[in-house]
Amino acid sequence: MKIAIPLWQNRVAPLMDCCSKLKVFELKEGRLKEINTVDMATLNLAERIKVLRQLNLDLVICNGISFFYRACLLVNTVKVISDVYGEEQLVLAKYLHEQNFKTK
């Protein structure tokens, strides 16, 4: 399973649409491995959507997300967990150990 978290200063970005980095992880057999960090700061909307498609994600964990971005992800069968905030490592630990976030 490929999981992405949009970041701003090592925290979950307040809004996915304008995050500066997107960190991608692979979850396999209960273990999480960082596989990529994508610099999103200079990308326009079309480029961001293209990158999201190319990453072949299964899940995005984010804070805020626009209806348009959510629709683009869902149409590509990417689950979205929104309204999540905090430091990247704490959010990942909570997801791995509790997995009680609700997908929308």
Q: Answer yes or no: is 40 within a domain.
A: yes
How far is Cα 44 from Cα 56, in angstroms, rounded to an integer?
19
Quick one: pLDDT at residue 96? Answer: 86
- pTM, full prediction: 0.89
Determine the residue type at 44. N
Domain assignment of residue 104, yes or no: no
Range of the structural domain that residue 68 is part of: 2-98
How do beta strands 11-12 and 59-61 pair? unpaired
The structural domain count of the chain equals 1
66 within some domain: yes
Residue 29: per-residue pLDDT: 86
The domain that holds 62 is classified in CATH as 3.30.420.130
pLDDT confidence tier of residue 11, bands split at 50, 70 and 90: very high
The answer to the question of residue 103 being in a domain is no
Q: 52-61, pLDDT tens digit by residue?
A: 999 999 999 9
